[in-house]
Structure 1
Amino acid sequence: MGEVKEEYSLFKDVSKVVDLAAVYLDIHPGLLSQIKECNSIYKFHFPLRNDDGTYEVLKGYRVQHSHHKLPVKGGIRYSSFVDEEEVKGLAALMTYKCALVNIPYGGAKGGVSIDPNKYNATQLERITRRYTSELIKKNFIGPAIDVPAPDYGTGAREMSWIVDTYEAFNPNAINAKGCVTGKPLSQHGIDGRTEATGMGVYIGIREAVSVKEDMDVLGLTTGLGGKKVIVQGLGNVGYYAAKYLQEAGATIIGVAEYNGGIFDEGGIDIEALKSFQVKNKGFKGYPKGNFVEESAEMLTYPCDILVPAALENVITEKNASQIQAKIIGEAANGPVTQEAAQILIEKNVLVIPDMYLNAGGVTVSYFEWLKNLSRVSFGKLEKRYDMKKYEALLESIENATGDTFTDEQKDLIVRGASERDLVNSGLEETMVTAYHHMNSVRKSKGIKTLRIAAFTVALERIAVSYLDLGIFP
């Protein structure tokens, strides 16, 4: 009999990287084992009654990877590929991601094994509300326990169904709105959540190219100005990442989608391309640049920065040797396989890891949760006070100098910070601080890649949390 090939396990893959990071730290083996394991796994089945009277039994999951901090945090995905190993792996990644960017959550993930495209809105609402009630029964959801968010196949609509169901079961819970994030603004969501992940990708890449020492090694100048960028995927994350990179001076020369791409050395207008895509369901017929039928080939086109923002495992051992980009920004989850990563190290390519680069979403989710617990919008208390204070300051300057400010200057200086302004400021602070700390650890410990450095930072913080809890000597 031939050898049986072991099925791929994302959870085991993540655990292997944790072991590689642990080499750079002095962690007790028992503590390391505790950190790697999932604390709680809830797998359940529930029926869905269809409009024609038939029933089908659906499979749901919620995995809480780490209780070193509570609540735990992680999205809910609706996908036919959802299984226990995937959810465990994604929950583990959330633990390390939150620790890396210093957000006080443990990691979690959930999902229902369905193809959401095969169900109408009424069916999806039944599925979501039943899934939520199952979590409530087992105490697997709550603002102090476990706070889900949108993920692949879910969005603000599903989150509003979740919070409505939770509030129905908990009518006296004053913080009930904090049981889930990614809600619509009308349901106490937060301004800036939609573009948060893409903006985080932009900030992370901007910080990477600001370090002269690292750019010298790659043969690049510092700053985004003039950098040639190819983006794979023009969904929510790819669009906002490309938009902000372009506004910062980068030239987007290629955008690849599953049904074709556009390549233009002279630069692509992202707003115009996105409008065309929405209207025509693709890029075919776009009047500028060259249409590329086999868009996957664009990953190997010459550019300075490659941003895979769509699917996992798009850069593999098959195409890694052909990659011509000097920097890869992993906007998607797991776009570079481990085998490909080894080849890219030898090619001296800087890979900015997904665990860091797409942490903008969970960062702003944290702000939404804080907003829900405080039950007041950011900026609501101080905005008018700040405006009055700056108006008085400008008036004093005008009186002292005899000069007057223009209306445009006054508006710019006097305007108080809105919720979006404060959210973006907090996101920027989080991403900037995390990048430079991760990069300094990479250099001080002689670590080859930013990915291992990211896990090293996260692992050390989680270990300290456990030690401070007194669980391990």
Structure 2
Amino acid sequence: MGNTNYSFFQGVERNFDKAAKFTRFEPGILQQIKVCNSVYSMKFPVRIGDNIEVIEAYRVQHSHHKLPCKGGIRYSMDVNQDEVMALAALMTYKCAIVNVPFGGAKGGIKINPKNYSVFELEKITRRYASELVKKNFIGPGIDVPAPDYGTGGREMSWIVDTYASLKPGEVDALACITGKPVTQGGVRGRTEATGLGVYYGVREVCNTAEDMKRLGLPVGIEGKKVIVQGLGNVGYHAAKFFYDNGAIVVGLAEYEGGIYNEKGLDVYKVVEHRKTTGSILNFPGATNMPSSGATLEQPCDILIPAALENVVNAENAARIQAKIIGEGANGPLTPEADEILNKKGAIVVPDMYLNAGGVTVSYFEWLKNLSHVRFGRMDKRFSENQNTSILQAVEGLTGKRVTDIERKQLLHGPDEVDLVYSGLEDTMIGSYHEIREALLSLDNSVDMRTAAFTVAINKVGVSYEELGIFP
């Protein structure tokens, strides 16, 4: 976490303490919000080939101020207790900021998934799920995991199946996990949710006239120059939504290096190029960058680091030319980088708000599973019939007809994906203004990250006070 004397979890605590002094809670409540409520560290044997391997895994529930807890499961050799605790804590604050009524949690299995066959991964995943069930660390009202690094819909289906088989007849079993394939009770729009949330959040910053005036930029997303680092799930979808909505994507960076073209890149063509050549480099008309890091320092208005943590740090922050930095990844800026960029007058949109699109749509998936009906199923046709009657009446009164394209737009009733997008858009817009109001009410030295933490601590603190659970 920037300073090597700090563990990742201590880094989160340091940000917490910075914001806590702007809240009114007594030290005891702040201490309760800060600590991890339950830490489950486990080791279990799984037969891999001819040998038995002992697998190390974790599940941390950071806060029980609201239930269930919520947070992803990652498969990585970097998984350790400190990292899982830090990510669980960030989940608590992230859910509070976007008004999703969950406590924060996180899970991890210390493996490199590339080293195992699908069958072996399934064995490990199902064993992990049964360990969670055994200790009551998973369930629709207890703790609802989701995908993270190294996991996806496939692993989520294995977990929900294991859960359901150990809890026969539980009617809400599908709600024990989110990020499932649509056929297994998942929700449409979940895959692109985080990237779309990044787009909505940055768009709202660009639509705020006062802030754009201060940065010397015109209002709106159109024509703004964007650089995206990381073409994984988050970065790819963010880049695509910026591109589709009139921003100029001038740079893209991946681990093998980056490409830059001040006139703009066609995101779809770059992805095609990468599929055929295995790399984004040597894209026609673009200049190759020697490294991913060098791409971040090119001229642009908006920078979206959506790859790894700590990519913008004390060493390179001063060379970043973007005026708006949107944290698509978790922790891409070190605390030192934060200070340097804030002094330069840039707006740093913090990860705990900006990449909360994933957990927001996970919440919609959980609601869908509990209500046992697809969003839009009841009212889509009703809306279409009503819109048809209104349109016919207006056309009858005016004697004019609308074009076929307009007709299609006006008559369209909401599908599940339309409702998911609109719920996410509303969440990202509302939450940005909550953070911005907090920022304006605090003193001038405060950055947006501290304001976001303050908003989160206030919401969690009020929950604890109202619960009155202090015997």
TM range, smaller chain:
over 0.9
Q: Alignment partner of 2:303: what SS?
A: strand
CA RMSD of aligned residues (A): 1.3
Question: Which among 347, 360, 367 is matched to residue 357 of structure 2?
Answer: 360
Question: Which among 377, 381, 389 is matched to residue 380 of structure 1?
Answer: 377
Contact residue 259 and residue 295 of structure 2 kept, 8 A: no
Render the CA deviation track for 1:40-61: whole Å, top value 9, x for unaligned. Answer: 010000112012x211101010
The number of residue pairs the alignment matches comes to 468
Deviation at 1:404, TM superposition (A): 2.9
Q: Alignment partner of 1:117: what SS?
A: helix
2:305 corresponds to 1:308: yes
Q: Which moved more, 1:335-344 or 1:212-221?
A: 212-221
Please name the residue that 2:341 is paired with.
344
Question: Which among 411, 414, 417 is matched to residue 417 of structure 1?
Answer: 414
Task: Work out the CA distance in 2 between the residues paired with 1:392 and 1:30.
Answer: 60
Please name the residue that 2:20 is paired with.
22
Normalised to the residue count of structure 2, the TM-score between the two structures is 0.97
Render the CA deviation track for 1:129-187: whole Å, top value 9, x for unaligned. Answer: 00000000000000000000000010010001000101101111000000000000110
Deviation at 1:6, TM superposition (A): 7.0
Task: Work out the CA distance in 2 between the residues paired with 1:263 and 1:436.
Answer: 33
Render the CA deviation track for 1:195-240: whole Å, top value 9, x for unaligned. Answer: 1000000011001111121122222221112211111111111111
Contact residue 179 and residue 186 of structure 2 kept, 8 A: yes
Judging changes above 3 Å, is the alpha-carbon distance between structure 1 residues 6 and 357 closer, same or farther for their aligned structure 2 residues?
A: closer
Question: Which among 222, 226, 238 is matched to residue 225 of structure 1?
Answer: 222
Q: What one-letter code is carried by the residue in structure 2 that aligns with 1:40?
A: S
Q: What one-letter code is carried by the residue in structure 1 that aligns with 2:134?
A: K
Q: Which moved more, 1:112-121 or 1:455-464?
A: 112-121
Contact residue 31 and residue 472 of structure 1 kept, 8 A: no
Deviation at 1:402, TM superposition (A): 2.6
Task: Work out the CA distance in 2 between the residues paired with 1:109 and 1:349.
Answer: 31
Q: Which moved more, 1:225-234 or 1:400-409?
A: 400-409
- Structure 2, unaligned runs of 5 or more: none
Question: Which among 43, 59, 63 is matched to residue 60 of structure 2?
Answer: 63
Deviation at 1:380, TM superposition (A): 0.1
Please name the residue that 1:36 is paired with.
34
Judging changes above 3 Å, is the alpha-carbon distance between structure 1 residues 406 and 225 closer, same or farther for their aligned structure 2 residues?
A: closer
4+ aligned runs moved over 3 Å, structure 1: 5-8
Deviation at 1:472, TM superposition (A): 4.8
Deviation at 1:7, TM superposition (A): 5.7
Please name the residue that 1:47 is paired with.
45
Deviation at 1:299, TM superposition (A): 1.3
Task: Work out the CA distance in 1 between the residues paired with 2:266 and 2:456.
Answer: 38
Please name the residue that 1:79 is paired with.
76
Q: Name the % identity.
A: 55
Deviation at 1:274, TM superposition (A): 1.0
- Structure 1, unaligned runs of 5 or more: none
Q: Alignment partner of 1:314: what SS?
A: coil
Question: Which among 328, 342, 346 is matched to residue 331 of structure 1?
Answer: 328
Q: What one-letter code is carried by the residue in structure 2 that aligns with 1:26?
A: R
Q: Alignment partner of 2:308: what SS?
A: coil
Task: Work out the CA distance in 1 between the residues paired with 2:177 and 2:353.
Answer: 22
Q: What one-letter code is carried by the residue in structure 2 that aligns with 1:371?
A: K
Please name the residue that 1:433 is paired with.
430
Render the CA deviation track for 1:267-294: whole Å, top value 9, x for unaligned. Answer: 0000110111122221133222112232
Render the CA deviation track for 1:61-112: whole Å, top value 9, x for unaligned. Answer: 0000000000000000000000000000000000000001111000000000
Contact residue 304 and residue 325 of structure 2 kept, 8 A: yes
Q: What one-letter code is carried by the residue in structure 2 that aligns with 1:17?
A: N
Residue pairs, 1:14-163, within 5 angstroms: 14-51=12-49, 53-163=50-160
Deviation at 1:252, TM superposition (A): 0.7
Please name the residue that 1:453 is paired with.
451
Q: Which moved more, 1:179-188 or 1:238-247?
A: 238-247
Please name the residue that 1:292 is paired with.
289
2:279 corresponds to 1:282: yes
Please name the residue that 2:212 is paired with.
215
Contact residue 221 and residue 247 of structure 2 kept, 8 A: yes
Q: Alignment partner of 1:41: what SS?
A: strand
Task: Work out the CA distance in 1 between the residues paired with 2:382 and 2:274.
Answer: 44
Question: Which among 213, 236, 240 is matched to residue 237 of structure 2?
Answer: 240
Q: Which moved more, 1:277-286 or 1:192-201?
A: 277-286
Render the CA deviation track for 1:249-276: whole Å, top value 9, x for unaligned. Answer: 2111100110121110110000110111
Please name the residue that 2:252 is paired with.
255
